[in-house]
Amino acid sequence: MAKLAVIKIRSDINARREVKDTLKMLGLTRVNHCVLVDDNESILGMVRKVKDYVTWGEVRADVVEQLLAKRGRLIGNKKLTDEVIKNRLNFQSLADLAAAITNGSVKLDEIGIKKVFRLHPPSGGYKSTKRPVRDLGDLGYRGEKINELIMRMM
């Protein structure tokens, strides 16, 4: 099962109650926050409901590895170090952990890593936070191009 990266791009001020609730269930409480979710029908339904506030796509293992290295935090806001990965999480390296997360064999919550990654605004800025990707904006489904956006935001 592949992983989707979902990034909140717009604020939910003046949004409908069910949109706010769905964003909260996904764990997206602030702009420029990113979560990794499973690619299943129930999650996709939630993501489609908030499509006017987020962008999403399939994330690669190498991008997840860099995301964990730069922005991954343990409970208590401690950085994710090689020592913690080997001793507490029982993985040989960060690449092994990223591969396990990407293929869905392990969940972030279960191993004590926060599910929300706090990112910077993208270097070069957004094209438009009010238009979908197909209309030269930034909202909605973007497929593999989510990896480029995440790299610009780290």
pTM of the model: 0.94
CATH of the domain at 6: 3.30.1390.20
Count of domains for the chain: 1
1 pLDDT exceeds 70? no
Average pLDDT over residues 35-47: 95
Residue 41 burial by CB count (10 A; 0-12/13-18/19+): exposed, middle or buried? Answer: exposed
Domain coverage including residue 36:
1-154
- Rounded average pLDDT over 46-55: 97
